[in-house]
Structure 1
Amino acid sequence: MNSTYIGCNKWQFYGKLISSFIFIPLFIFFFFFGPLNLLFKENTLTGIFLLFLWSLIAFFVILMLFQLLFWPKGVEINSEDKLLKIKFFLSATKTLSIKDIDRYVTTKISTRSTLYEGVLIYTSTNRKFIFSDANLSDYRPVRDFLTANEIQTEGHEKYDNLGYFGSYFKK
């Protein structure tokens, strides 16, 4: 059997995991003891600032959790059977055959310090799967697999977290 396994980008994965363990308690602490208490006391300017800070922390915690849950953490490429077995952090492994893949686009994911390249696969059921250097140790074998199997490419598309995560909740 001719298969290749690509694991997660360990720096990104463990960084998000550790950050979640730090920021979730901080988020809860701010919710119960921070901005809401200070907004109703004399110092409303501090309360407004802390509410803004709490909202910012909430946004990043939710984004990290969604990335941990919905970005693939590994992929097994089976060239012989023309399958992609996609592994996730907490959910079940999903298997995609070439027949399930509608098209793919190249994309770039921008973080504060790095620009990660990748491919975004669209399935026939309008689901999306991101394979990039941000979530995998190397996305290029996935791109090569798609090219070798003559999957239609539609150029480049700007990566959008909301659109990507939204595809998981559409029916």
Structure 2
Amino acid sequence: MRAEPPTQPTARTPQAQLELIIAQLKTARRARRLTQQALADGLGVSALAVGAWETGKDTPALGNFLRWAETLGLTAAVTGAPTGDTPVPRRGEPLEQFRIRCLTSALAGAREHSNWSQEMVGDALGVSTWTVHMWETGHRVPRTLRLIEWCHALGCELTLVAR
């Protein structure tokens, strides 16, 4: 018997949530009067990549997505998940890796709180139990849209908050 998510999933689809977040990032870039080229230079990517992200022609890798938000004074957070132990940075751990671990830790906590197994999450997302395990332990990084789908499956939401 399949356990239900702890809360009702958001009304938005994961793709619509991603589009909303990207629109927020684009608005924040413009509010700071940054060109796509200036943002790209700061992120170490091409202006074409930033343009493709902003128009929805491509989705940034999770690391690029998090750096993009950080550059604009924002951070990604999982909302609607039960609060648990907040991860502590590991010695020598890059900030980007720590931020990813914070997100995946929140989702692992939401999964445990909802009495879902890694297998159930994998089934909901169309990935293997091993993949979910690797995401939760930080050995693999989910794609940005897949992270949003993971949130959605557990009744949570990926949002941007001011730092």
TM-score by length of 2: 0.25
Larger % of strand: which?
Answer: 1
Larger % of helix: which?
Answer: 2
TM-score by length of 1: 0.25
The structure having more radius of gyration, on CA atoms, is 1
